[in-house]
C-alpha cells in the first residue's frame, strides 16, 4: 500500500518517536524483559505505530515498529510489517477508534500500579502532584481477558469523561493515554510514581485527604498555566 | 576428552550464551556479589555448561564456563575445567537427568522470591501476567540441604506435571527451568517480578482472585498464540 | 540589564553549579520525569539561579538556567530568560528574601519523604545519621497551594529557629535549604535516606528512641568538628 | 616517616584495593552521598589504610586514601596525609588493635540493616544464604556515641567469639569485618541483602525457622568446602 508522501513522512517521525520512548520505560524502571508497549497515532491519517511483540528493548529500532490501521490490522508491505505487533494491539486500536483526541497509548506492568490493580482499588488523590497531573483518583477498570475488544472497551468506558489519563485494569495493570505518545509515557511514569508514594504512605497510617476544592484548583492551574509553548523540549510539568 | 566437531561447536555456542545470560541477572537486579547461576544443556549431547563458583560478574567470559556431564562431573581437559563449577551444579545436573525437555536451569536469591520462600508460602495467581507466564501459583519445594541430590530431587518433584517453570525452594530461593537457558532466565526475571507485585499488593489488603477458568484461557492463549517464529530476537511474551 | 563584571562571573559559576546539581537528583533517584528543582543564590547580589520549567534532565545546560531577582522575577535579557522558570520559583524567592543565610534551595517529590508528608507526620530522630545531619526530627509544614506566597511562607515559618534544613510540606513533598546549592542538595539526598530508613524500621515495630542528650552531642560534634577546610572536594559528613 | 620498601609496596597495594572497593559500595547501593567507609590492614605492619572524610565517591583515588597506625593516628608525610581520615577511624583502629585476624573493616548506613539497628533487633537466620555466610543471626551491638572508643569496643565485644562478621550497632548501622578489605565489603553487601530479604519476608507473616543443626551444617560446609584457591578472582561463595 502506497501512502501519500506527507503521511509517509509523519509515519517516519512517529516510528522514531515511539521507538525512542520505549527506552523511557526502561529508564524509569516500568518494565522487565520485553513487557510494556507504547503506540502513537499518525497525525492526519487513520493509522498508528506500535511495538512488535517480544523484541528485546536493546534491539528496538524505528524500522521494527509496526504500522496499523485503526482496526489494529498491520499495513501490508510497510516496514516491520512481517512481524507480529504487540499482543495488546487490539486494545490500543480500540482506544484510537473511540477517543479521537488521544494521540498516544501506553501499557506497562509497573509494580505499584499492578499492586493496586490486583486489589481492584483506585488510588486516592492525597498528594498535590497527583492533583496536578490526574485531577483526582486513578480509577480501576474491569477485569477483561485479552483476545477481543474487552480490554479496549474497559479503558474507554473508564476514562471517558474522567480527568485521569490513567486506568488500572483489574488484576492486570495500568493503561495510559495522552495527546501524543510522549504525553502517554509521562502519564505511565507518573502513575507508577503516585501509586508507589501513596502505597508507602498508607503502610504506616492513613494519608490526610486533600479537599476537593484544592484538587480542582491544582488541576485547573496545572492544565492552564504551566508550560513553554515555543520550545519543543518544554512541556506542562510540576517542576 | 575429544568431542565430535558438531558437539564441540554446540558447546562453544552454549558457553557464549550462558556467559552472556549472567549479565541479564545483574541487569535485572536478581543477584548480589557472585550469587546466582545459569546453566544450559548442550543440544545433542549429555552435557551442560554452567558458571564457575565465585567469579565476579565483571570477569565472566565464555571460556570461564564449565562443561559437565549429566552427573555434574567436570569434563577433564575442557576449557575452564581447572576451576570449580557452581556449588549448585549437582542440583542442575539432577534436573537435566530427570527432565529431558529442560534445556536451561537458573538459580538466584532474588529478594521477593526469597521472601516467599522463607515463609514457605506459594505465590497466588492474582495477576494476568502470572497466568500467562506460569499458568497458576508458583509452588514451594521442600527444605533441602546442599551437598547431595536433595535440592535437585525437590525441584523435579515439585515441577513435574506443574505448569510453573519456577519453584521456591523453602528457606532458600527460586530455581527456574526453561526450554533453553534464555527461557529459564526469563522465568527467573518474571518470578521475581510477580513475587514483588503480589507481595506489595497484599501489604494493603487481599488481591482479588482470578477465576480458574480465566487463568486457563490466559495460559492457553499465551502458550499457543504469541511469538514470532522466524526471527530469533522474537519470542513468546505479554507485550 | 547589564550586571557588574564580578556579579556576571558569579552568575556564571552558579549557573554551572546549579545545572550540574540537577544530575545529582537523578543519580540519587529523587526525581522522575522533569520533577524537582534546585536553585542557588548569587553571592554578593540579590539574585538567584533556578531551573526552567519542564526541560528534560538530559538536556539541562548552564545556559538554560534562569536568573531571577529575589521577587522571583526573571532578569530580562539574561541567558535562558526567554523561558519560564520552575513553577516553584515564588517559593524559592520567598526563602531567599526571608532567610539571608540560605544560599541554596531544593524541592523534590522523593518517594519516602512524600509518604511522610502525605500523612502529615514528622520523621522521628531514631538514627544517628539523622541526629548528625538534622539535629532532631524532620518537621512538617502546612498544606499550601501553589500560586501565591503560601508555600514559601510555610517553609520559612517551619524552618526558622529549627535545626533541620528540611521540611515536609503536607501532601506535597520535601523542601531543603543549605548554605549553598550543594548543601541543599545534600540535605535533599539525606532527608530521603532517613525518611526511607525510618519508614522501613517502623514497618516491623517501634524504633528505639535516641535520648535528647545524645542527639544534642551528635549534632554539636557534627556541626563543629568534621570537615576538610582547605580542599573544596571535602565537606562535613558522617563518613 | 620512611617505611621499609616492602611495607611501602604493601601500602600501595592496599591503597589501590581500598579505593577500588569503595566503588563496590556505590554499585551495590549501600551508600548515599559520601557516607560509608572501607579500611584495610597493611600486611606485615601495624598500619591500615582508610578513606578520607567527605570526599565524593567520583573523586576517590588510591592517593587520597589515608595511612594510619593502629591508634588511628595519621602517618605524617604519607600520601593523602594532609587530609582528615574518616570520622569512623577510631572505631576501625580499635578493631585492628583487638582483633589481629581481621584484615578489613567496613561501615555503611545501608537501608535495611539500619532499619533493624534502629529497632535494636537482631536478624534471625531464616534463609540458607545467611546460614552459609554468617552461620546464624546478625547480632546487635550497643548504642555508642562517636568520639571515643565506645563504637570500636562495642563491635569487638559483640563479634568476639561470634560466627557473624557483621554487627548492627544500635540506632546507627552495620559494621563488618573480614580477612581482608574485600571480604569485609562482601559481608557488608550480604548483610544488607539478608536484612532486606528477611524484612520483606516478615512483612506478610513469620518465616519458617531453620533448625540449628541445618544451620551448623550449612555454615561448616560453606567455610570448608567451597572456593577456588589458585585464582585470585575466585573465592568462597554460595553460587
Write the secondary structure of A93-108 as one string of H (helix), E (strand) and C (coil): HHHHHHCCCCCEEEEC
pLDDT at D84 over 70: yes
pLDDT at B238 over 60: no
Q: What is the pLDDT of residue A81?
A: 79
Overall average pLDDT of the D149-163 stretch:
96
In sequence order, the β-bridge partners of residue B148 are B146
Taking CB atoms and an 8 Å limit, are B83 and D203 in contact across chains?
A: no
Interface residue A228 vs chain C (CB under 8 A) = yes
Interface test mutation site (partner B, options D195, D236, D239, max chain B beta carbons within 10 A): D239
CB B50 within 8 A of CB B89: yes
**Model confidence band, residue B1 (pLDDT cutoffs 50, 70, 90):** low
Q: How far is A110 from chain B (nearest CA, A)?
A: 8
Q: What is the pLDDT of residue A228?
A: 45
CB D170 within 8 A of CB D201: no
Chain C residue numbers with beta carbons less than 8 Å from the beta carbon of D35 are 129, 237-239
Taking CB atoms and an 8 Å limit, are D197 and B121 in contact across chains?
A: no
- Residues B189, A56: Cα–Cα separation, whole Å: 14
Residue A12, φ and ψ in degrees, nearest 5:
-60, -45
Q: In whole numbers, what is the pLDDT of chain B averaged over residues?
A: 92
- Residues B198, C178: Cα–Cα separation, whole Å: 41
Interface residue B27 vs chain A (CB under 8 A) = no
- Residues B30, D112: Cα–Cα separation, whole Å: 17
Q: What is the pLDDT of residue B80?
A: 81
Q: What is the pLDDT of residue B231?
A: 39
Interface test mutation site (partner C, options A28, A30, A123, A128, max chain C beta carbons within 10 A): A128
Sheet holding C140-141, edge to edge: C66-69, C47-50, C37-41, C104-107, C173-178, C166-169, C140-141
**Model confidence band, residue D88 (pLDDT cutoffs 50, 70, 90):** very high
Q: Among D9, D171, D12, which Cα is nearest to D79's?
A: D12
Please report all neighbours of C, defined by 3+ CB atom pairs within 8 A: A, D
Q: What is the pLDDT of residue C145?
A: 82
Whose cell is 538530559? That residue is C58
Cell numbers for C165: 534544613
Neighbours of C232 (CB within 10 A): 7
pLDDT tens digits, C44-95: 999 999 999 989 999 999 999 999 999 999 998 788 878 899 999 999 999 9
Chain D residue numbers with beta carbons less than 8 Å from the beta carbon of B172 are 127-129
CB D66 within 8 A of CB D51: yes
Q: Which of residues 103-132 of C touch D (CB under 8 A)?
A: 126-129
Q: Is D7 exposed, middle or buried (0-12, 13-18, 19+ CB in 10 A)?
A: middle
Q: What is the pLDDT of residue B76?
A: 82
Q: Is B206 exposed, middle or buried (0-12, 13-18, 19+ CB in 10 A)?
A: exposed
- Residues C102, C85: Cα–Cα separation, whole Å: 20
Q: What is the pLDDT of residue B148?
A: 77
- Residues A235, A217: Cα–Cα separation, whole Å: 19
Interface residue B143 vs chain A (CB under 8 A) = no
Overall average pLDDT of the B149-176 stretch:
97
For the annotated catalytic residues of C, the residue numbers are 132, 226
Polymer length of chain A:
239
Taking CB atoms and an 8 Å limit, are D33 and C189 in contact across chains?
A: yes
Q: How far is D51 from chain C (nearest CA, A)?
A: 8
CB B122 within 8 A of CB B137: yes
Q: Which of residues 164-183 of C touch A (CB under 8 A)?
A: 170-173
- Residues D177, D171: Cα–Cα separation, whole Å: 19
3-state secondary structure of C106: strand
Interface residue C20 vs chain D (CB under 8 A) = no
Three-state secondary structure readout of D217-236:
HHHHHHHHCCCCCCCCCCCC
| Of C35, C52, C203, Cβ closest to residue A203 | C203
Chain D residue numbers with beta carbons less than 8 Å from the beta carbon of B87 are 225-226, 237-239
Cell numbers for D223: 567455610
Cell numbers for C52: 526552567
Q: How far is B35 from chain D (nearest CA, A)?
A: 5
Q: In whole numbers, what is the pLDDT of chain C averaged over residues?
A: 92
Residue by residue, pLDDT tens for chain A (239 residues) are 689 999 999 999 999 999 999 999 999 999 999 899 999 999 999 999 999 998 999 999 999 999 999 999 999 878 887 889 999 999 999 999 999 999 999 999 999 999 999 999 999 999 999 999 999 999 999 999 876 799 999 999 999 999 999 999 999 999 999 999 999 999 999 999 999 999 999 999 999 999 999 999 999 988 876 544 443 434 455 56
CB B104 within 8 A of CB B163: no
Catalytic residue selected from B88, B94, B132, B183: B132
Nearest CA in chain B to A30: B193
Nearest CA in chain C to A129: C172
Domain boundaries defined on chain C: 5-224
Q: How far is B110 from chain D (nearest CA, A)?
A: 8
DSSP label of A188: H
How far is residue D235 from each of residues A175, B54, B109, D216, measured CA to CA in Å? 47, 5, 18, 21
Q: What is the pLDDT of residue D232?
A: 39
Interface residue A90 vs chain C (CB under 8 A) = no
Taking CB atoms and an 8 Å limit, are B201 and A114 in contact across chains?
A: yes
Q: How far is B92 from chain D (nearest CA, A)?
A: 12
Overall average pLDDT of the C179-185 stretch:
98
Cell numbers for A167: 486506568
Taking CB atoms and an 8 Å limit, are A34 and B207 in contact across chains?
A: no
Whose cell is 489488603? That residue is B205
- Residues C42, D26: Cα–Cα separation, whole Å: 32
For every residue of chain D, DSSP letters joined together read: -PPPHHHHHHHHHHHHHHHHHHHHHHHTT---TT--EEEEEPTTSSEEEEPBTT--TTT--GGG-EEEETT--B-TTSTTTTSPB-TTHHHHHHHHHH-TT--EEEE---HHHHHHHHHT-PBP--SHHHHHHHSSPBPEEPP--BTBTHHHHHHHHHHTT-S-SEEEETTTEEEEEESSHHHHHHHHHHHHHHHHHHHHHHHTSPPPPPPHHHHHHHHHHHHHT---TT-TT------
Taking CB atoms and an 8 Å limit, are C34 and A239 in contact across chains?
A: yes
- Residues C229, D1: Cα–Cα separation, whole Å: 25
Taking CB atoms and an 8 Å limit, are D115 and C200 in contact across chains?
A: yes
Interface test mutation site (partner D, options B52, B86, B90, B114, max chain D beta carbons within 10 A): B114
CB A106 within 8 A of CB A38: yes
Q: What is the pLDDT of residue B228?
A: 45
Residue A88: partners with Cβ closer than 8 Å, 6 or more residues away: A37, A107, A146, A151, B239
Interface test mutation site (partner C, options D27, D30, D33, max chain C beta carbons within 10 A): D33
Taking CB atoms and an 8 Å limit, are A214 and C120 in contact across chains?
A: no
Percent of chain D past pLDDT 90, that is, above it, reads 85
Q: Among D168, A131, A64, C89, which Cα is nearest to B234's?
A: A64
Taking CB atoms and an 8 Å limit, are B146 and D205 in contact across chains?
A: no
Taking CB atoms and an 8 Å limit, are D147 and C221 in contact across chains?
A: yes
Considering just the CA atoms, what is the radius of gyration of chain D in Å?
18
Cell numbers for D87: 570520622
Q: Is D199 exposed, middle or buried (0-12, 13-18, 19+ CB in 10 A)?
A: buried
pLDDT tens digits, A162-204: 999 999 999 999 999 999 999 999 999 999 999 999 999 999 9
Taking CB atoms and an 8 Å limit, are C234 and D84 in contact across chains?
A: yes
For the annotated catalytic residues of A, the residue numbers are 132, 226
CB D40 within 8 A of CB D104: yes
Q: Is the ipTM of this complex over 0.90?
A: yes
Whose cell is 498464540? That residue is B225
Interface test mutation site (partner B, options D128, D165, D226, D228, max chain B beta carbons within 10 A): D128
- Residues D150, B232: Cα–Cα separation, whole Å: 61
pLDDT tens digits, D186-235: 999 999 999 999 999 999 999 999 999 999 999 998 887 654 444 333 44
- Residues B169, D210: Cα–Cα separation, whole Å: 13
Q: What is the pLDDT of residue D239?
A: 65
CB A215 within 8 A of CB A135: yes
Taking CB atoms and an 8 Å limit, are C84 and A238 in contact across chains?
A: no
Q: What is the pLDDT of residue D225?
A: 60
CATH topology of domain A5-224: L-fuculose-1-phosphate Aldolase (3.40.225)
- Residues C124, C130: Cα–Cα separation, whole Å: 9
Query: E strands of chain C, at which residues?
Result: 37-41, 47-50, 66-69, 104-107, 140-141, 166-169, 173-178
Chain B residue numbers with beta carbons less than 8 Å from the beta carbon of D197 are 109, 111, 114-115, 118
CB D148 within 8 A of CB B128: no
CB C17 within 8 A of CB C182: yes
Interface residue B207 vs chain D (CB under 8 A) = no
Cell numbers for A110: 509497573
- Residues A164, A155: Cα–Cα separation, whole Å: 11
Neighbours of B214 (CB within 10 A): 17
Amino acid at each position: 500500500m502506497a501512502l501519500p508522501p506527507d503521511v509517509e513522512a509523519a509515519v517516519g517521525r512517529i516510528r522514531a518517536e515511539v521507538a525512542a520512548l520505549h527506552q523511557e520505560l526502561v529508564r524509569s524502571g516500568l518494565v522487565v524483559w520485553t513487557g510494556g508497549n507504547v503506540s502513537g497515532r499518525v497525525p492526519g491519517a487513520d493509522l498508528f505505530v506500535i511495538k512488535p511483540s517480544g523484541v528485546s528493548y536493546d534491539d528496538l529500532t524505528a524500522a521494527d515498529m509496526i504500522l496499523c490501521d485503526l482496526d489494529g490490522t498491520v499495513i501490508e508491505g510497510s516496514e516491520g510489517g512481517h512481524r507480529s505487533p504487540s499482543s495488546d494491539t487490539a486494545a490500543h486500536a480500540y482506544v484510537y477508534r473511540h477517543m479521537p483526541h488521544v494521540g498516544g497509548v501506553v501499557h506497562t506492568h509497573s509494580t505499584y500500579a499492578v499492586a493496586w490493580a490486583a486489589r481492584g482499588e483506585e488510588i486516592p488523590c492525597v498528594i498535590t502532584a497527583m492533583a496536578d497531573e490526574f485531577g483526582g483518583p486513578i480509577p480501576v477498570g474491569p477485569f477483561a481477558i485479552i483476545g477481543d475488544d474487552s480490554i479496549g472497551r474497559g479503558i474507554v468506558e473508564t476514562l471517558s469523561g474522567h480527568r485521569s489519563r490513567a486506568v488500572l485494569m483489574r488484576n492486570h495493570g495500568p493503561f495510559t493515554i495522552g495527546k501524543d505518545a510522549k504525553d502517554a509515557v509521562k502519564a505511565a511514569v507518573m502513575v507508577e510514581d503516585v501509586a508507589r508514594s501513596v502505597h508507602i504512605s498508607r503502610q504506616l497510617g492513613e494519608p490526610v485527604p486533600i479537599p476537593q476544592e484544592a484538587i480542582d484548583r491544582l488541576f485547573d492551574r496545572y492544565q492552564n498555566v504551566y508550560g513553554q509553548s515555543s520550545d519543543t523540549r518544554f512541556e506542562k510539568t510540576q517542576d
